Amino acid sequence: MKPSLHFIVLAIACWSSLGHAEDEQVSAAPEIATARVLGDLPDGTPPPPEPAKPGFIIPTADILESAIHEHDGRKIIVRKIAPIELPPPPMAEPPLGKTSPALQARIAAFRANHPIVEMIRVGATVYRSKESAPRTLVNYWPDGAEKPVTLWSSADFSLLSGFASFTGSGGETRSLMMTWSTLYIDGMSRLHKELGSPYIAPNIPEFPPGKATFVITSGNPTVESLVTIQSLHDLYNNEYQKLKAAYDSREQARLQQEAELKAHPLKPKDIILNYWFTDSSDQRTKGGAR
């Protein structure tokens, strides 16, 4: 672990010295960018209802046959109806060659409206205990890497959820794709005790109080990878109150929704299946024509 930690200090020191060298070449220091979330954070407020879709109404005279089946507390109504005229399928456009000017123009327009941003792929397990603050075991997959960079962080990575993109520490736009889970150490210890086998908790490093930091445990990260990992921690430290408030609101809304569903469980809706034959001479069975 010591060589990895030494590499972190050396890499960040080099990065910092490069920044100071650039500052010396200008008369005034440039404005320092800070990591921020882009867009609004979801707080559990339900989205506005979608506009009602037009109903699919079949005139009674066009219902040729009807059968009702009961299944799991709902009715499944199968109806044979008079044929409905459907528009012909659209004709597919001929494929464009890779060197086609039209295709190149489309690609250029797409790239102009969708600039390439770094995709940060992360898997995180948040360890919680009554005796200590949350600690997160993180696997970060740099682009093109065969193995992840593994690290322990004093940040609660469950708060880094609910958004897709953010501004990095250097002002660049980054996107985050993260899967995360929570492991309760106290609960695991009780469960293993009941099963007669002791729970061996992971060896979580000590972190200083204050802002969230991290310790690399494996993966030999590059300087670019360290900058990316640091950007996530800068984002966490800068936006902690905002991230925490949004997460707590989402959790409260989730618990309220679960309680509402428990008190008033949803009733299964009836289903209506309509079918028709496009050719009156077709002798297929109903089962194959639905």
User: What are the pLDDT digits (tens) for 61-83?
Assistant: 999 999 999 998 899 999 999 99
Looking at the domain assignment, is residue 77 inside a domain?
no
Nearest to 231, CA basis, from 110, 162, 143, 140: 140
Looking at the domain assignment, is residue 49 inside a domain?
no
Looking at the domain assignment, is residue 50 inside a domain?
no
Cα 37 to chain center, whole Å?
14
DSSP 8-state code for residue 154: S
DSSP 8-state code for residue 17: H
Banded pLDDT at 103 (limits 50, 70, 90) = confident
Q: Please give the Cα distance from 114 to 112 (Å, whole number).
A: 6
- Which stretch, 34-38, 100-104, 181-185, 283-287, has highest mean pLDDT? 181-185
| pLDDT value at residue 169 | 87
The stretch 129-157 carries a mean pLDDT of: 94
Element of type H or E holding 183 = strand 173-184
| pLDDT value at residue 33 | 60
Looking at the domain assignment, is residue 283 inside a domain?
no
Looking at the domain assignment, is residue 96 inside a domain?
no
Q: Has residue 116 got a pLDDT over 80?
A: no
**Residue of higher predicted confidence among 3 and 39:** 39
Banded pLDDT at 146 (limits 50, 70, 90) = confident
Looking at the domain assignment, is residue 235 inside a domain?
yes
**Residue of higher predicted confidence among 281 and 207:** 207
Considering only 73-82, 105-114, 123-132, 277-286, which range has the smallest mean pLDDT?
277-286
Q: Please provide the average confidence, as pLDDT, over all residues in the chain.
A: 84
Taking only the tens place, the pLDDT of each residue in 236-272 is 999 999 999 999 999 999 999 999 999 999 999 999 9
Q: Has residue 29 got a pLDDT over 50?
A: no
Q: Has residue 10 got a pLDDT over 60?
A: no
Q: How many CB atoms lie within 10 A of CB 6?
A: 10
Looking at the domain assignment, is residue 106 inside a domain?
no
Against a cut of 0.85, is the pTM above it?
no
R_g of the chain computed on alpha carbons: 29
Banded pLDDT at 144 (limits 50, 70, 90) = confident
Phi then psi dihedrals of residue 206, to 5 deg: -80, 140
Element of type H or E holding 187 = helix 185-195
Q: Has residue 161 got a pLDDT over 60?
A: yes
Considering only 53-67, 104-118, 271-285, which range has the smallest mean pLDDT?
271-285
Q: Has residue 282 got a pLDDT over 60?
A: no
| pLDDT value at residue 72 | 87
| C-alpha dist (Å) from residue 53 to 56, 59, 114 | 9, 18, 31
Banded pLDDT at 26 (limits 50, 70, 90) = very low
The set of residues, in sequence order, having a beta carbon less than 8 Å from that of 289 and lying 6+ positions away, is 275, 276, 277, 282
Percent of the chain at pLDDT above 70? 85
> Tokens at residue 234, please?
């800068």
- Under a CB-based contact definition with an 8 Å cutoff, are residues 177 and 119 in contact? yes
Nearest to 128, CA basis, from 180, 191, 187: 187
Count of the separate structural domains present in the chain: 1
Taking only the tens place, the pLDDT of each residue in 199-241 is 998 999 999 999 999 999 998 899 999 999 999 999 999 999 9
Looking at the domain assignment, is residue 183 inside a domain?
yes
The stretch 1-29 carries a mean pLDDT of: 37
Q: How many CB atoms lie within 10 A of CB 64?
A: 12
- Token pair 């690290």 in the structure block, residue: 151
Domain that holds residue 194: 2-21+121-262
Percent of the chain at pLDDT above 90? 56
